[in-house]
Structure formats: structure tokens, C-alpha cells
């Protein structure tokens, strides 16, 4: 009887402490680590989430860009951070799925090291080329690459990232030889593509859209199986000759493992509301 009373008391005290902790959250500025440089798709989305959170909390939310090693540097930092909700990570398919599968060693477990908060979005990469490239369709680009094996360069956000593996799958299915030029993130890769130093790139849709709309890059195909509502005129790669080609990308926000469940629930609720408002605004503009 005494043991049961002691256990019940301990559970009640833990619940009260957890509730009190949640009510005080956030008690100081919150950092959202972005595994890629400023201007990358993950960075853009992190800032889209961070600003409304700061307004709600009356507390600063800082997007902390920590690029490098395919996004694993930021992941390692968050995995080792104090689990109090004041350090978060906005990662993607590259950091949570691809890098742990490709690298011999990463200092985090994509499942055990984090407390998942919410998936942020599911999107597509887009095959874009410099306007000087003599190809206006995916099929024409494949034909050009077959005529010039090993002579066409493609940029990526780094080895082991989604843009890199999108290109490698494309090469394999098309039977072509393209030369990989890895960068530390998509902004640097896009800069050289825009300057004509490279010829092609599988870029994140959010980072490529402004350049496509300004005709600074030519869009050839979407990597997902469905066309994007943002650029509905651009066909998918699958419908352009490489049937079955499919690379969908996603982002998710997490906290370090051990973060109090009440804080995780609060973040889930508030971020989901922000994403819902953002989606309504996109629909209104389209």
C-alpha cells in the first residue's frame, strides 16, 4: 500500500512538474537549426515557421544555419543539445534517411536521437538547366547527354543529399553519364548554375521557383509522380520518358530525445496551425 502510494505521488509530482515546465516554455530564445545554408529550401521554411512562433511567444526564434557533411553537422548538434525545447532541428529526407544510410558513421540515430514534432511538408525536386543548354524537354536533355557523355556537369547541394541522389537515379534510369559537382548547399550550387559554370541541377522546388519564373533557368521536369500545383505546366520526369522515376522529398521538425512531451505537444499544435494558415494563403494566391 505504501509502495503504491509512493509511486502514485511520484507520478503526480512528475506530471505537475511537466505541466509547469510547459507553461513556462519558452523561457529564452529558441534556436531552429537548419542543416543547409541561408537561401536553401530548409532555411526558407525554417524562417517561415520561426517568425510566427516568435510573434506568438514574444520570444526570439533564431534560425541557425549549420551546413556541411550532407546536413549531418546540424543533426549531431541537436541530438546532443539539452532536451528542453529551446533547440530544434528542421531536417529533411537527406538528413533523416539518406545520410544515415550512405555515410559509414553519423553521430546520431535518426529515430532514437530525436523527439518528432511534426512533418512540415512533402514536395518535389525539379530538374533545371541553364538557358544555354540546348534542351527544352527531359527527353531532349537525355539525348544531349547521350551525345556528349561525361561532358555535362550537374550541381548538387552536396554528396548524399536529395538533389544528388535524384540526379544519380536519373543517370541510372536514362543510361547517361553526367559529372557531379557537389557544393555545401543549394544556394552556392544555384549561383554557379545561374552563372553557367554548371549546366544542370536537381534543385528543391522552393529554391528554384524564382529563377524559373524569371527565365534565368529552364525547368524540364518534376521528380515526383505528380505535377506541382505551383508550376503545373512543368511535366514530371516519369511522364517525360522515364516511366516510374519518382523522388519525393519531405521536411520534418524535431527536438532532442527526452524533450518533455508537453512541450512537444505544444510545438506540434502551434506549428501545425502556422502550416495550415500558410497553406490557405497559397491556395488563395493560386
Largest separation between any pair of C-alpha atoms in the chain: 83
pLDDT at 12 over 50: no
Q: In CATH, what number is assigned to the domain containing residue 242?
A: 3.40.190.10
Q: State residue 1's pLDDT score.
A: 44
Same domain (yes/no): 102, 83: yes
Same domain (yes/no): 255, 221: no
Q: State residue 280's pLDDT score.
A: 63
- The verdict on residue 1 lying in a domain is no
Same domain (yes/no): 188, 51: no
- The verdict on residue 146 lying in a domain is yes
As a residue count, the chain comes to: 286
Q: State residue 31's pLDDT score.
A: 98
Query: Shortest CA distance to 251 belongs to which of 108, 93, 103?
Result: 93
Among 4-18, 27-41, 52-66, 99-113, which stretch is predicted with the lowest mean pLDDT?
A: 4-18
Average pLDDT over residues 182-188: 90
Same domain (yes/no): 225, 187: yes
Cell numbers at 194, concatenated: 545561374
Give the DSSP letter of residue 113. Answer: T
Query: Shortest CA distance to 110 belongs to which of 193, 220, 213, 35?
Result: 35
Same domain (yes/no): 98, 53: yes
Q: In CATH, what number is assigned to the domain containing residue 48?
A: 3.40.190.150
Same domain (yes/no): 75, 55: yes
Give the chain's domain count: 2
User: Where in the sequence is the domain holding 222, given as residue range(s)?
Assistant: 124-248
- Report the distance separating Cα 12 and Cα 19, nearest Å: 11
Q: State residue 6's pLDDT score.
A: 42
Same domain (yes/no): 227, 254: no
pLDDT at 5 over 70: no
Q: State residue 20's pLDDT score.
A: 45
Q: State residue 23's pLDDT score.
A: 57
Average pLDDT over residues 218-233: 96
Residue 185 φ then ψ, to 5°:
175, 165
Average pLDDT over residues 157-183: 95
- The verdict on residue 86 lying in a domain is yes
86, 242 contact by CB (below 8 A): no
For the entire predicted model, the pTM comes to 0.79
Same domain (yes/no): 193, 228: yes
- The verdict on residue 3 lying in a domain is no
- The verdict on residue 19 lying in a domain is no
- The verdict on residue 4 lying in a domain is no
Among 41-50, 97-106, 199-208, which stretch is predicted with the lowest mean pLDDT?
A: 97-106
- The verdict on residue 216 lying in a domain is yes
The residue that leads in pLDDT, 59 or 10, is 59
Same domain (yes/no): 230, 128: yes
Average pLDDT over residues 17-29: 69
Helix (H, G, I), strand (E, B) or coil at 66: coil
Same domain (yes/no): 113, 225: no
Cell numbers at 123, concatenated: 514536395
Same domain (yes/no): 92, 168: no
Same domain (yes/no): 132, 208: yes
- The verdict on residue 16 lying in a domain is no
pLDDT at 47 over 90: yes
Amino acid at each position: 500500500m505504501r509502495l503504491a502510494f509512493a509511486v502514485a505521488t511520484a507520478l503526480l509530482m512528475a506530471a505537475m512538474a511537466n505541466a509547469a515546465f510547459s507553461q513556462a516554455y519558452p523561457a529564452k530564445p529558441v534556436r531552429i537549426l537548419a542543416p543547409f545554408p541561408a537561401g536553401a529550401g530548409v532555411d526558407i521554411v525554417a524562417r517561415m515557421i520561426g517568425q510566427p512562433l516568435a510573434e506568438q511567444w514574444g520570444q526570439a526564434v533564431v534560425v541557425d544555419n549549420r551546413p556541411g557533411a550532407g546536413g549531418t553537422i546540424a543533426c549531431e548538434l541537436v541530438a546532443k543539445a539539452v532536451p528542453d525545447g529551446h533547440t530544434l532541428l528542421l531536417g529533411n529526407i537527406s538528413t533523416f534517411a539518406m545520410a544515415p544510410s550512405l555515410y559509414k558513421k553519423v553521430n546520431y540515430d535518426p529515430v532514437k536521437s530525436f523527439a518528432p514534432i511534426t512533418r512540415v511538408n512533402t514536395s518535389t525536386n525539379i530538374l533545371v538547366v541553364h538557358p544555354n543548354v540546348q534542351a527544352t524537354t527531359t527527353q531532349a536533355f537525355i539525348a544531349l547527354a547521350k551525345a556528349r557523355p561525361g561532358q555535362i556537369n550537374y550541381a548538387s547541394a552536396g554528396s548524399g543529399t536529395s538533389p544528388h541522389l535524384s540526379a544519380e537515379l536519373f543517370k541510372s534510369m536514362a543510361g547517361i553519364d553526367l559529372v557531379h559537382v557537389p557544393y555545401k548547399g543549394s544556394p552556392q550550387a544555384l549561383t554557379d548554375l545561374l552563372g553557367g559554370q554548371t549546366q544542370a541541377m536537381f534543385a528543391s522546388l522552393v529554391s528554384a521557383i524564382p529563377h524559373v519564373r524569371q527565365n534565368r533557368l529552364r525547368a524540364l521536369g518534376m521528380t515526383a509522380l505528380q505535377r506541382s500545383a505551383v508550376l503545373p505546366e512543368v511535366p514530371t520526369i516519369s511522364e517525360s520518358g522515364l516511366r516510374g522515376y519518382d523522388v519525393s522529398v519531405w521536411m520534418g521538425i524535431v527536438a532532442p530525445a527526452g524533450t518533455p512531451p508537453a512541450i512537444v505537444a505544444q510545438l506540434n499544435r502551434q506549428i501545425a496551425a502556422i502550416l495550415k494558415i500558410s497553406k490557405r494563403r497559397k491556395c488563395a494566391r493560386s
